[in-house]
Amino acid sequence: MLFVADLLLMLLDLFYSILSAVVQTFFRPRLKCIDGELCLITGAGGALGRLFALEFAKEGAHLVLWDCNEAANEQTAELARETGVKVYTYTVDLSRRQHIYETAEKVRLDVGDVTILVNNAGVVAGRRLLECPDELLERTLLVNCHALFWMTKAFLPQMKVRNHGHIVTIASALGLFSTACVEDYCASKFGAVGFHESLTHELRVENLNAIKTTLVCPYIVDTGMFEGCEIRKELRGLIPPLDPLYTVKQSMNAILGEQQMICIPRLMYIPFLTRALLPWDANVATYRFMGGDKCMMPFIKNVERKAAQSHIKTL
């Protein structure tokens, strides 16, 4: 009898969840106020990180900016300070676990408890697997995936004490389905997606429902990170590289609307679903038709060419 009751409750929850998602698709959800919150953004010196910092600053959140590039991080800070919020900068190497822990402790002493954590930093080796130095492969996994563990262990305990906070993972569409020649990046983003989903389940199990999570999975963003990447030319107008500001604004709507996951653009839900539903060979046929199986080849060649030119200059 208990099983039947639980089954009926599950079906009601299922129906309500689907209906709620449909409503939110057509009607903008109510956005929460984050004025006065303390928001930490990793990779704040990069294109997306800088835009996230400015958008959070517009909402009144005070900022803690982390980046390995001190100069770029300070540039972001100066722009954010123009909005009137408090901004604190730290130079951090996210590939070093101990450095993360030490800097996190410094943030707690200098500023206080972080209530919004935006794991935005990301890198890619840009080399074919068998030609890529192990150190570059390891760095991609350390920054894009392992750092999520250390960041969460550093800042989640304070969120748990207050049952208040928001953890954002900027992953990628390549964390939902893969392509050739970027094994390090795909592996790290699949790991990021798995980590984020498992963490979300854990918070629910512990009834910490006031600690929110948002997973962001954008298509390739036009920041130069994957310069040269392109799908079949007849389809490029349908799925062009994303404008960085558009990506960040869509992400902010999801974060402030406490949406658990967003794919940008919505078309990215289709390959995510087909990957799970269709046979492997059917997905391969679709990828080949779209040029998705070889879309990273021009990007890899660009990186190799630049590396060769740099080597020649040093001779």
H helix intervals, 92-242: 97-110, 134-141, 147-162, 183-205
Would you call 185 a catalytic residue per the annotation? Answer: yes
Are the C-beta atoms of residues 206 and 221 closer than 8 Å to each other? Answer: no
Q: Which of 185, 246, 269, 287 is catalytic?
A: 185
Q: Are 94 and 141 in contact (CB under 8 A)?
A: no
Continuous H helices in the chain = 2-26, 47-58, 70-81, 97-110, 134-141, 147-162, 183-205, 244-256, 269-277, 280-290, 297-314
Question: What kind and span of H or E run contains 215?
Answer: strand 211-218
Asked if 163 and 211 touch (Cβ cutoff 8 Å), the reply is: yes
Backbone angles phi, psi at 180, to 5 degrees: -85, 155
Residues belonging to the active site: 185
